[in-house]
Amino acid sequence: MQPIPYKMYLSETELPRAWLNLRAFMRKKPAPLLDPATLRPITQEALAKVFCDELARQELDDTSPYIPIPTEIRDFYKMYRPAPLVRAYCLEKKLGTPAHIYYKFEGNNTSGSHKLNSAIAQAYYAKKQGLKGVTTETGAGQWGTALSMACAYFGLDCKVFMVKCSYEQKPFRREVMRTYGASVTPSPSTTTNVGRRILEEFPSTSGSLGCAISEAVEAASTREGYRYALGSVLNQVLLHQSVIGLETKTALDKYGVSPDVIIGCAGGGSNLGGLIAPFMADMLQGKSQHRFIAVEPASCPTLTRGTYAYDYCDTGKVCPLAKMYTLGSGFIPAASHAGGLRYHGMTSTLSELYKQGLMEARSVKQTEVFKAAEYFARIEGILPAPESAHAICAAIDEALRCKERGEQKTILFGLTGTGYFDMMSYEKFHDGKMQDYIPTEEELSKGFAGIPKL
Amino acid sequence: MQPIPYKMYLSETELPRAWLNLRAFMRKKPAPLLDPATLRPITQEALAKVFCDELARQELDDTSPYIPIPTEIRDFYKMYRPAPLVRAYCLEKKLGTPAHIYYKFEGNNTSGSHKLNSAIAQAYYAKKQGLKGVTTETGAGQWGTALSMACAYFGLDCKVFMVKCSYEQKPFRREVMRTYGASVTPSPSTTTNVGRRILEEFPSTSGSLGCAISEAVEAASTREGYRYALGSVLNQVLLHQSVIGLETKTALDKYGVSPDVIIGCAGGGSNLGGLIAPFMADMLQGKSQHRFIAVEPASCPTLTRGTYAYDYCDTGKVCPLAKMYTLGSGFIPAASHAGGLRYHGMTSTLSELYKQGLMEARSVKQTEVFKAAEYFARIEGILPAPESAHAICAAIDEALRCKERGEQKTILFGLTGTGYFDMMSYEKFHDGKMQDYIPTEEELSKGFAGIPKL
């Protein structure tokens, strides 16, 4: 066996030719999405009013184990993939752990995260259907950037509703999207009915993701030739993100390495779902054994303190309902600096796996996360996104546990992106102005009270 | 011959084991550096008061064709190198050119540019000499970031003097440096004699690179166990940056490709000097034939409108004099958004090659540069640094000339970095508020008047 390099890059011919549909490997499938109008399992026809036809089909397909990746998407993937799988030699040495640590780094592209993997797929199917454009919302801005890039590539119009406080606090993210030709509107806006209604009621609101989703869905449904695109939570997004795990597995297999522990941060669940897909599929088939750990912020503890129930995916209640771990669609997480993890629910596939005891979950506090982020940056060179640093935090904990016990385990984690547009949060951390927030039982109860009784 | 992939990654075992010292291949060498105190060729002993011993030696060595890269530096290189060599298939298609376009992308690391290649070498030699730390200046911030990262890796202290206007306008760059443990001081500051003197005379000054250099040199020379580090212009920097060209050549050789035209942006000349090194060395030995093009901003036209003379490298006149193309050390370039190219001189090696007619030069206007940058971002996905976009601009021109003439030439250019911290400039461009500036003959005359008569 040849020595393991610092970075493993697959060749372009080794890029996956099909996405892996994890649901197809699950004996007990995630519960079906419900139509918000009828509260019955949603039909492909109803879904196709919101999403592109092919994406509506993928959303409901829980039996095809693999779905081929179209050549046009693979060609785009070649511009920034395969992503490197890194052996964290420097981190191992610094920690003095016998554990072997690997991370799959998804930040080497201008969107700065894994979001591009699904954005290009969603843009492709929109283009193929002959649409003019897509609408979406963005909070932290990574998804909006990714979709802007994908739309620029296929010559599609892209309308992004950006949560107003982010729009104002992150002008540089907005400019990246403008560079790719997207129109970016602060939400709530006067361009939609729902936006106007909210502005009338709360004139000084700084917006929320739930509101931006509702505006984006309305903007798509009232325009000829537009559909809505979403960057996480959906089954289709997990499917596209399986490219992360598939590449990782191919690279590890070459060196005969099988991870004992697989760790990822979890907001809506897209990156974690993608990373674990082929490993979980193998385990479900009895081919291998792994521990899977979802890491979420203590300020938004969906898996660790949420309840498993059918709930709305958005605050405006216009999207389908999903059975998932949820804090209630009315739960407003405290202003966390990991904006990408401030989501009240968890994609139904991961929720079901967690319910079945096939995946663990833990929550970490914000200041611990930034401490781990800075530690990692100084040792491994990469300045991580706050979201990704949740996974770093847990990986370091696991590696130190191996040190205590003298175990040479193999730890794999997902490094979803870079923190170049999050320096305001790092500044707060450096200046000792960052606070931790853990919701009280009472606050959680209020959120739970809004979950529909079906 | 196998088909050429979108991205060529060398394996870690193919990483260069020695830097290439271009001066050793030149029949007529660049003129020696002069000691500012004596105006005679500077001795290694005198240089070693400012730089580390080994770097002082490298600075004066114009005969060793190759200098081995220490293992510790190669190990660090493995964390972010080999850098990808990209075949710009999408750009070629969009332009409809028969030309083949390649670019070497140096932006896949947290410093966001090629600067890290020399920063790690300079930090290594400082560590090896048993120093406590290094001082430096930074304008746009890429060099300061790179040196901070390198110092964090080797556990060295890093004191960065950041031009005051940048310090205030680019707080995020500052925070990246702080994340890596560097102390960042706005310049001019009250921590040095020269800083206090300047602040007394010009209390409201927003600083300049020349002043920051003087502060950094003073801070190093008045502290036990410190030396000064510089990110461009010097021979040692060109030497370290040869890793760019060496990797590029190894990758192209594998596919039997020899570039007809090699293009790079040029400020102090470090990236261009590094990219062309092995190709120019081959040409000087009659082994191959290439055109080399340096691209500079019209607002700071060192090669295209400067004069070839001995001049000071810094405004404070504390550094050695170099024979180079210069606009005069007192020339203050207009506020350009490509801060990394706002330098009055050009490294002596490139100056001598240009003088001998072995290299071409052209200047481009800022608005043309941002137009090319945006065009490139939408097609190739990478949002370039304004500096790097100078090279893109010229590469597109060359590719369009090939289209006109029906010539299938091979064009190679250096994509030195990403523009994630330059979005304020992109915003000005999007809003139509960006202006071009071309210095008048009278303005140039004033700069020339300050060049010493030796």
pLDDT tens digits for B184-205?
999 999 999 989 998 998 898 8
Say whether residue A147 is in contact with chain B using an 8 A CB cutoff.
Answer: no
**Which chain A residues are closer than 8 Å to B382 by Cβ?**
109-110
**Which chain A residues are closer than 8 Å to B427 by Cβ?**
171, 175, 178
- In B, minimum Cα distance to A13 occurs at B5
Q: Which CATH class is domain B8-14+77-112+234-449?
A: alpha beta
CB contact under 8 A, B80 and A424: no
pLDDT tier at B449 (50, 70, 90 boundaries)? very high
CA–CA min distance A79, chain B (Å): 6
CB contact under 8 A, B381 and A108: no
Helix axes A116-128, A235-254, angle to 10 degrees: 130
Quick one: average pLDDT of B366-393?
97
Q: What is the pLDDT of residue B1?
A: 63
CB contact under 8 A, B426 and A175: yes
Residues 371-410 of A with CB under 8 A from B: 374, 377-383
Query: Do residues A249 and A283 make contact, with C-beta atoms less than 8 angstroms apart?
Result: no
Helices (H), A223-315: 235-254, 270-284, 302-305
Tokens of B305: 């409108």
Say whether residue A157 is in contact with chain B using an 8 A CB cutoff.
Answer: no
Dist. CA A224–CA B354, nearest whole Å? 58
Q: What is the pLDDT of residue B253?
A: 97
Q: What is the pLDDT of residue A1?
A: 63
Tokens of A251: 């690279």
Q: Is the pLDDT of residue B451 over 70?
A: yes
**Which chain B residues are closer than 8 Å to A152 by Cβ?**
377-378
CA–CA min distance B363, chain A (Å): 24
Quick one: average pLDDT of B340-363?
95
**Which chain A residues are closer than 8 Å to B384 by Cβ?**
none
Q: Is the pLDDT of residue B335 over 90?
A: no
CA–CA min distance B75, chain A (Å): 9
pLDDT tens digits for B63-101?
999 999 999 999 999 999 999 999 999 999 999 999 999
**Which chain B residues are closer than 8 Å to A80 by Cβ?**
381
Three-state secondary structure call for residue B264:
strand
**Which chain A residues are closer than 8 Å to B79 by Cβ?**
6-7, 90, 380-381
pLDDT tens digits for B221-230?
999 999 999 9
**Which chain A residues are closer than 8 Å to B80 by Cβ?**
381
Say which residues have a Cβ less than 8 Å from residue B336's Cβ, sequence separation at least 6.
B297, B299, B300, B342, B366, B437
Say whether residue A151 is in contact with chain B using an 8 A CB cutoff.
Answer: no
Dist. CA B291–CA B358, nearest whole Å? 8
CA–CA min distance A155, chain B (Å): 10
Q: What is the pLDDT of residue A454?
A: 85
Select from B92, B33, B111, B187 the least CA-distant residue to B402.
Answer: B92
Q: Supply the Cα-derived Rg of chain A in whole angstroms.
A: 21
| More reliable by pLDDT, B316 or A407 | A407
Say whether residue B366 is in contact with chain A using an 8 A CB cutoff.
Answer: no
pTM recorded for the entire structure: 0.96
- In A, minimum Cα distance to B382 occurs at A110
Q: A72, A92, A179: best mutation site toward chain B, by most B Cβ within 10 Å?
A: A179
CB contact under 8 A, B430 and A179: yes
| More reliable by pLDDT, B342 or A196 | A196
**Which chain B residues are closer than 8 Å to A420 by Cβ?**
110, 112, 172, 176, 420-421
What are the angstrom distances between the C-alpha of A432 and each of A152, A372, A427, B164? 40, 15, 9, 24
Residue A193 half-sphere exposure toward CB, CA atoms < 13 A: 6
Say which residues have a Cβ less than 8 Å from residue B451's Cβ, sequence separation at least 6.
B307, B309, B310, B311, B326, B328, B329
**By CB neighbour count within 10 A (0-12 exposed, 13-18 middle, 19+ buried), where does B359 fall?**
buried
Tokens of B95: 């332009």
Residues 47-76 of B with CB under 8 A from A: none
Q: What is the pLDDT of residue A93?
A: 97
pLDDT tens digits for B392-415?
999 999 999 999 999 999 999 999
Say whether residue A450 is in contact with chain B using an 8 A CB cutoff.
Answer: no
Dist. CA B144–CA B315, nearest whole Å? 19
Dist. CA A371–CA A368, nearest whole Å? 5
CB contact under 8 A, A176 and B383: yes
Say whether residue B12 is in contact with chain A using an 8 A CB cutoff.
Answer: yes
**Which chain B residues are closer than 8 Å to A374 by Cβ?**
179
Q: A86, A103, A170, A420: best mutation site toward chain B, by most B Cβ within 10 Å?
A: A420
Dist. CA B261–CA B415, nearest whole Å? 15
Of residues A5, A152, A172, nearest to B12 (C-beta): A5
Say whether residue A421 is in contact with chain B using an 8 A CB cutoff.
Answer: yes
Q: Is the pLDDT of residue B331 over 90?
A: no
H/E run at residue A95? helix A89-95
Q: What is the pLDDT of residue B319?
A: 85
Cβ neighbour number for residue B142 with a 10 Å cutoff: 29
**Which chain B residues are closer than 8 Å to A431 by Cβ?**
none
| Residue A86, strand partner residues | A7, A103
Dist. CA B84–CA A76, nearest whole Å? 16
Cβ neighbour number for residue B432 with a 10 Å cutoff: 8
Query: Do residues A142 and A115 make contact, with C-beta atoms less than 8 angstroms apart?
Result: yes
Give yes or no on whether B8-14+77-112+234-449 and B24-68+115-228 have one common fold. yes
> Could you give the strand order of the β-sheet that contains A157-163, starting from the edge strand earlier in sequence?
A183-187, A157-163, A133-138, A226-228
Q: What is the pLDDT of residue B334?
A: 79
CATH code of the domain occupying B24-68+115-228: 3.40.50.1100
CB contact under 8 A, B381 and A80: yes
Average pLDDT, chain B: 95
Dist. CA A432–CA B199, nearest whole Å? 31
pLDDT tens digits for B29-57?
999 999 999 999 999 999 999 999 999 99
Dist. CA A12–CA B5, nearest whole Å? 7
Q: Where are the domains of chain A?
A: 8-14+77-112+234-449, 24-68+115-228
Dist. CA B208–CA B199, nearest whole Å? 12
CB contact under 8 A, B179 and A430: yes
Tell me the residue length of chain A.
454
- Per-10-residue mean pLDDT of chain A, 454 residues long, equals 88 96 98 94 95 97 98 96 96 98 97 97 98 94 97 97 88 94 96 92 84 92 96 95 98 96 96 98 98 96 97 84 93 79 92 98 97 97 97 98 98 97 94 94 95 91
